[in-house]
Structure 1
Amino acid sequence: MNMSDITVHFTSQLTNSERRISPNWSFEYLKQRIENFTGIPPNSQQLLLFPTSISTDPVDLSSNDDSTAVLDLNITSDSRVQINDTRPLSEQEDLTNESDIKYFELDEKDYEKRSDTVRRWKQDNQLGRFHPDFKTKKKEQLQNNKVRAQQLCVGARFRTINEIGERRGVIKYIGKVLEIDFENIWTGVEFDEPVGKNDGSIKGVRYFSCKPGYGGFLKPVQVEQGDFQEESLFSDDDEI
């Protein structure tokens, strides 16, 4: 299912801009697009996600698999992504061999003053995090997650109820996952089929155990608990 593009604030040593990206992109493709405006090759990019405009503790996205969808990186229109160049300084300089060039840099305060940015347009039109009801809706979403989490049980069967389509499995964990964010409660699940992103661990921290590629973390509101029998993604006709 295609989803609407979102506008995200990207910063690096040489850039400060807002870019439209698609939640349907893969992490690999996102890094390719980032190279276009930063000049940093994908394998030399360290991407640090600041989930909100007031976040001070970033989430390092570097450990994600290239096939991970942007949707699963939890990047939103309220996020900022800092791109660091991990190459040695000598290699960075060799790329241009023009050390006397002075690059244009725009700090956060100057960027805020500009009237021709996407951020200012969103402010003027009260869109995204600038909508008067943004904080209220975000609070409601957090509360809805909390209520749904209280209705779920570790060990129970489930099916997904969101845009990724119906997937089934077993609930393995319910609680905070600080490697993703600091506010939401998450549901750790083991899918019946290898459609997950991990083995129950994320960024080196283990929350439950399952086979690699079968684990994932979903928001409780994405999960429906019930007596859902295991179904294969493949029919007998698909066997070879």
Structure 2
Amino acid sequence: MAAAMLTRRDIDALKEYVSAPGNFGQNQAESTVRLHVTHSNLKAEFIELRLDLHMTIDAVMTKLSSHCGTPGGDMLLQLRDNNGKLVAILTDAHRKLGFYSPRDGWVLHIVDTNPNSLSARGWLEDTSKVQKYTMSDEEYKARENTYWKFKEEKLKEDPEWTAEKELCMRRGIPYVPPKQKENIDDEDYMRAEAGALSVGERCEVDPGGKRGVIRYVGRCSGLPEGYWVGVHFDEPVGKNDGSVKGKRYFDCPEGYGSLLRPYKVRAGDYPEVDEFQFSDGDEI
């Protein structure tokens, strides 16, 4: 595959180059509420939305449709409290969301009533069902003006060239080579930082502003010494399903989980995932 010619660092640098800055530090207005959204055909709690209480249920359904693909006409929308108890079924399209007095952290559960929905039978989550376009290395090398040829020329000029180094040069900022991975033998490494994080808290992970929920805090057998934090991301930007080297630390869909060093994780009010970006060697 041609993509195999790109290293992870190349991909990280390119993603950083084309990604817009994240939307940080949002303040919540008094007329809004933060609700988790789940879907009858999707395994993951795929998003947390900030909704205005003055929105009609019809407008809420339209907004939800843009995130999950289920048309409003095929939705049966349920409002549940923090304990999963059904509070109301939102069937009146013209009534405002605030009529039902939802609270931060409650759940909007979408029941897709269409048996032929695109979300049914795993079509939106199981990538094995999607026919993928492939290109051989030979076909890719035969093309003009490709990244591979650009990289080849750059490496001839500078054997230590990387895409990250190139971007720094274009931006006129100093290039700092990545640190070598530390050889840690302290079993209490980053214990204090881990102690400030709790399972169940929303969080943001650097670099990239990836957001999710903390699902594990502690040591990890088979990984370098010290403390790790397990994060269930809102989007498939992780590296695993909550298990590493045959041991499970938490549950999440494949590609939604990662174990990271605590210094990369900030707990707080982070309701939405910003970007698809990957981190460096301190993430496993």
TM-score by length of 2: 0.32
User: Computing the radius of gyration over CA atoms, which structure comes out larger, 1 or 2?
Assistant: 2
Structure having greater relative contact order (Cα 8 Å, sep ≥ 6): 2
